[in-house]
Amino acid sequence: MNCETIKAEAGKKVLLTGKPGLGKTTVIIKLARELKNDVVGFYTEEIRKGSRRVGFELVSLASGKRLPLAHVSFASSKRVGKYGVKPENLDPFLDELGLALHYGNPRCFLIDEIGKMELYSPQFKDIILEALNSRYPVVATIMARPEPFCDSLKKLNAVAVWRISQDNRDRLPYALAEKILSG
């Protein structure tokens, strides 16, 4: 499947973008709380050692499972800045998404984030395209900086790109929940 095959079935595909540190992950977490049940996906949380960020871990919204995606101590040829990335640690989260797409009936897919670390996984790209092509609502955070795959997603007719700012970030989870629950 490629980006050109995406069609607007549900009309509820939203990509959230904005500068780092504005609260994209917080919007996803609050949206998951607003939707209460039947959400599938994950968010990315910082791993800290004291006041220093040393990595990022993935947290499943469905199962609570946690796995590190990137860490300063990972010896990996795949790197983003000072972090070694283990894209294979995405696999259990992608399995959850795939099972929900094929056998579940989730209220919404929530994905934080479509970014450099996750894009090391070809399976991640495939599942993102499959979710966007599904009948289910999808809300995902996506990097603001130019990147070919991400840029192609942002241009899809089936998706709306919402920019997060300090002015709107506190209202977004509720606006998104209303959009998803309204139909």
Q: What is the pLDDT of residues 51-109, one digit of tens each?
A: 999 999 999 998 999 999 999 999 999 999 999 999 999 999 999 999 999 998 888 99
**Domain residue extents for the chain:** 3-181
Q: What is the pLDDT of residues 94-153, one digit of tens each?
A: 999 999 999 988 889 999 999 999 999 999 999 999 999 999 999 999 999 999 999 999
Measured CA distances, 55 to 46, 122, 153, 181 (Å): 6, 21, 26, 34
Burial of 51 (0-12, 13-18, 19+ CB in 10 A): exposed
Please tell me the CATH code under which domain 3-181 is placed.
Answer: 3.40.50.300
